[in-house]
Amino acid sequence: MGWFSRRPRAAQGTPTKLDREATPEDLASLVQFATSRQGVEFYLEPETTATDTTVVAIAYDGEWIRRRTGTPRAAGTIARKHAIPLYEAAKVGYPERMRAWNRAHPERRAR
């Protein structure tokens, strides 16, 4: 039955992703956000077992969106094309202005 098998699940076949892959609409949303606001910075979040690689785009006032990018390379391409700083969220964290914006807009957290 395999209940006590010593083989890890990953070796038995392709692991299942719990979330969807990045779409062209995700990338377009990042570009639209970045081009319609001032002072946007990208914060790269690594792929996990539950989600694809994501980017949090944060404007100068703290407004933000999170979208899947598929790969870090795709995020880097968008950042270079639009001259947007790209940081690794795991290394630098998120700016205080994002937390302040969240406190000022509690209705956004209900989504």
Which tens digit of pLDDT belongs to each residue from 46-79? 988 888 899 999 999 999 999 999 899 999 999 9
- Would 43 be classed as within a structural domain? yes
- Would 95 be classed as within a structural domain? yes
**Distance, CA of 44 to CA of 77 (rounded, Å):** 12
Strand pairing report for 86-88 and 41-45 = parallel
Give the range of the structural domain holding residue 33, as residue numbers without chain letter.
Answer: 24-108
**Distance, CA of 96 to CA of 102 (rounded, Å):** 10
Using a 10 angstrom Cβ sphere, with 0-12 exposed, 13-18 middle and 19 or more buried, the burial of residue 41 is: buried
Considering its fold, how many domains does the chain have in total? 1
- Would 92 be classed as within a structural domain? yes
Mean pLDDT of the chain: 85
- Would 64 be classed as within a structural domain? yes
- Would 18 be classed as within a structural domain? no
- Would 59 be classed as within a structural domain? yes
